[in-house]
Amino acid sequence: MKEFTYVVTDPEGIHARPAGLLVKQANRFQSRITLHKEGKTADAKRIFAVMRLAVETGQPIVVTVEGEDEETAAAAMEAFLKANL
């Protein structure tokens, strides 16, 4: 399993549009990708779950990636977050 932490810097947090992009990105991979925030978790491939997590700007999220393509998936997710959130 791969794990990394990312602090959201987008002023609006993970709201609808970036949540959509994130889900789209996560669905490209086989691995199970989970977001963790303050004890709550969300499946990164599900839009309602990601939106419900309501990640605001300045909040750290832990991303765990588990599966066959976890190496590439983790790297891609981290790059995506840095570029978009």
Partner 1 sequence: MIVLNGTGVFGGIAFGRLSFFQRNECKIRRRHVEDINRELSRFEKAKHTAVAQLQTLYEMALQEMGENHAMIFRIHQMMLEDPDFCKTVESIIKTRQVNAEFAVSETENHFRRMFSAMEDSYMRERAADVKDVSDRVLGILADSTGTARRYDEPVIVAADDLAPSETVQLDKSKVLAFVTRLGSQTSHTAILSRTRNIPAVIGLGDALKEEYNGRPAVVDGFSGRIYIEPDESTTAAMEQKKRKEEEKRSLLEQLKGLDNVTRDGRRILVCANISSESDVEAALQNDAQGVGLFRSEFLYLDREDYPSEEEQFRVYRSVAEKMAGKRVVIRTLDIGADKRSGYFGLPSEENPAMGYRAIRICLTRPDLFKTQLRAVYRASAFGNVAVLFPMVISVQEVRRAKTLAAQVRQELRKEGVPFSKKVELGVMIETPAAAVICDLLAREVDFFSIGTNDLIQYTLALDRQNRRLDPFYDPHHPAVLRLIRYVVERARQAGIWVSVCGELGADLSLTEAFLRMRLDELSVSPPCILALRKKIRETDLSKG
C-alpha dihedral (39, 77, 73, 26), degrees to nearest 10: 80
Nearest Cα to 22, choosing from 5, 47, 3? 47
Measured in degrees and rounded to the nearest 5, phi and psi for residue 41 equal -125, 155
Catalytically active residues, by annotation:
15
According to the binding rule CB under 8 A, does residue 56 interact with partner 1? yes
Quote the least distance from Cβ 32 to partner 1, whole Å.
Answer: 13
According to the binding rule CB under 8 A, does residue 13 interact with partner 1? yes
Using CB under 8 A as the criterion, which residues of the chain lie in contact with partner 1 when the complex forms? 9, 11-13, 15-17, 19-21, 23-24, 46-49, 51-52, 54, 56-58
